[in-house]
Amino acid sequence: MEQNIEPVDFNEQFSFDDIDCPICGNRAITRFFFETAEEQIDCYSCGYTRKFYITNLDSKDDTNQEFEWTPAYSIEEKQGFGAYSVRMLHSDNIEVGSFATEQSEQFFIETVEQMKDQVAYAKYTKLVDGKIEEVILISTVE
């Protein structure tokens, strides 16, 4: 049975931009999601995250032109505990993310150590005294 699967055009769903992280000043990524009107900033150097979104989007009345709608915003901001990047052997994909807790760094180090025969590259970064400190755990040339 043949299925017609429509390709997803990610440009219609959200947009990407590079900005300077407000905490460490390094390159951060901001994404704007059109459907939910949510903006998110992620810094993969210090781990800073900010979500900015409209909380009353469902109360907007597009059918009534007389209706005055004022958006209400909410901001969730988290100082990071660092960030990581990993590339597995025989793969071109790099996984990046940020540490959610102080314990995440140690968990990452232990996980990479357990999987070291499958990892081509692994590093983490964190903000120390206003500067980004980088620690490379594995760097294998393929």
Comparing CA positions, the residue from 71, 84, 8 lying closest to residue 39 is 71
State pTM to two decimals: 0.69
Q: The tokens of 81 are what? A: 């505990």
How far is 4 from 25, CA to CA, in rounded Å?
Answer: 45
Q: What is the pLDDT of residue 35?
A: 76
pLDDT at residue number 60:
60
Name residues of the chain where pLDDT drops below 70: 1-15, 57, 59-67, 142
